[in-house]
Amino acid sequence: MSRYSLYVSDDARHKAHRRLPRIVFDYIDGAVGNESAAANNLAALERLRLMPRVLAPTKQYLLAKPFLGQNLSLPFGIAPMGMCNLAWPGADRMLAAEAVKRGMPHGVSTAASTTLESMAEQAGALAWFQLYVTGSLETAWALVDRAEACGYQVLILTVDVPRVAPRPRDQRNGFNMPFRIGTQQFMDFARHPHWSLASLLAGVPAAANFDATPGGKSFDRYASRAGANWDFLDQLRRRWKGKLIVKGVLNPDDAQRIRAAGADAVYVSNHGGRQLDSAPAAIHALTQVRAALGPDFPLIFDSGVRSGEDILKALACGADLVMLGRPLLYALGADGARGLSSLLDAIVESLLVAMAQIGLSDINDINSTHLAAPLS
């Protein structure tokens, strides 16, 4: 019998679709507009091909990846995601536990269901705090101070949400934060008793960091996050002594200016297609940003990654580290901690198999020659 309960990301998605209320599944699965940007992320990665090589057997495959002064055990990590506990009660802690067990970074969102202090205590240096500049600047600086006080070494500033894009599925379902339950939502929950009872016992998820910030208000999902501008980046760089990553970058000129502002890494992402439906596929932007910044500047990538092969493709296109988002929430929604562990096992195994197929023994040696054809 296989050790996996989930074999691929699509397994997790299909099981989560059955198990979760529509309002929750659509929050995880949905995107902006007609969802063409999200679909294009997947299609662009799918069109990329890896080139098999033969007669290159090896007994050991090395996945360890040094990045920003940390010795990571894997070339991928957990993207910062808000309100993860909607997928399953305790999801934030389940993600942190896997990060520690596997030696990979865990992005802790401003909008997490668990306080940044609790996540730092559990994941240590592998917890990377992600900052939204939402509401007042005072609230943002208070979050930065809290992250510094509890020992975060890495801060991710997200800059691609100057105005929160409405997502049609959420609008149709009446999704909002703080969470409100009307007749439509009540009937949805009643059809999914397993999730509903577990969530009722655990308590309704909330954006815990706002309740814990002195003078902070409840998290408003649709509040402007336009405070993340160039002036704020300059101030943050002067104030934050740890590593600074800027997330949500697609334009090479922006990437060069961010590097000049003193950022330690650029995070190429189109927010999983959740902000601009006409945005380019993130994997295409990655190659352009890499060309603009040269071979050595640290780059992180997400958007559309679903498998070990996708991770290899992104690394071959210039990423130094790849982050996973939606698939992990699918796995949590499908089968809680067991589903998450199972899918991560399957992704690592698919990564190792793909490395064997392309004749790669050390993940740090991946480059564009491992692709079957250049991007077009």
For residues 167 and 30, is the Cβ–Cβ distance under 8 A? yes
Q: What pLDDT sits at residue 58? A: 80
Residue-range domain boundaries for the chain:
9-362
Task: Summarize the confidence of residues 190-201 as an average pLDDT.
Answer: 91
Predicted confidence (pLDDT) at residue 179 exceeds the cutoff of 90: no
The model's pLDDT over 150-165, given as tens digits with 9 standing for 90+, comes to 999 999 999 999 999 9
Tokens, residue 373: 């054809």
**C-alpha to C-alpha distance for 351 and 347, rounded to whole angstroms:** 6
Q: Model confidence at 140, in pLDDT bands (50, 70, 90)?
A: very high
Cα distance between residue 279 and residue 157, in whole Å: 20
Parallel/antiparallel/unpaired status of strands 70-72 and 65-67: antiparallel
305-327 per-position pLDDT tens digit = 999 999 999 999 999 999 999 99
Q: Assess whether pLDDT exceeds 90 at residue 200.
A: no
> Around 117, how many Cα atoms within 13 Å sit in the side-chain half-sphere?
12
Q: Is the pLDDT of residue 374 over 70?
A: no
Tell me which architecture the domain covering 9-362 has in CATH: Alpha-Beta Barrel (3.20)
pLDDT at 1: 37
Q: What are phi and psi of 249, to 5 degrees?
A: -100, 130
- Band of residue 218 on the pLDDT scale cut at 50, 70, 90: low
Position 217 confidence tier, pLDDT thresholds 50, 70, 90:
low
pLDDT digits 0-9 by tens, 64-73: 999 999 999 9
- The beta-strand segments (E) located in 149-200 are 154-158
Residue 349, pLDDT above cutoff 90: yes
Q: Which of the pair, 272 or 184, is modelled with greater confidence?
A: 272
> Could you give the C-alpha distances from 163 to 220, 223, 246, 275, 312, in angstroms and in order?
12, 8, 17, 9, 33
Q: What pLDDT score does 216 carry?
A: 53
Number of Cβ atoms within 10 Å of the Cβ of 231: 9
- Nearest alpha carbon to residue 340 among 352, 329, 324, 326: 329
Lowest-confidence region among 86-90, 113-117, 176-180: 176-180
Per the annotation, the verdict on 17 as an active-site residue is no
Tokens of 257: 């200016």
Burial letters 248-261, b for 16+ CB under 10 A, else e: bbbebebbbebbee
- DSSP-assigned states of every residue in 263-316: -SEEEE--GGGTS-TTPPPHHHHHHHHHHHH-SSS-EEE-SS--SHHHHHHHHH
Q: Which residue has the tokens 């309960």?
A: 5
pLDDT at residue number 171: 94
**Is residue 353 classed as helix, strand or coil in its secondary structure?**
helix
pTM (2 d.p.): 0.95
Q: How far apart are CA 30 and CA 26, in angstroms?
A: 5
Which one is catalytic: 106, 271, 284, 370? Answer: 271
Q: What are phi and psi of 145, to 5 degrees?
A: -65, -40
Share of the chain above pLDDT 90, in %: 85
Tell me the sheet residues that pair with 243: 154
Range in 21-25, 108-112, 136-140 the model is least confident about:
136-140
With cut-offs at 50, 70 and 90, classify the pLDDT of residue 60: very high
Q: Which helix (H) or strand (E) holds 255?
A: helix 252-260
List all residues 6 or more positions away from 335 whose beta carbon is below 8 Å from its beta carbon.
5, 6, 15, 342
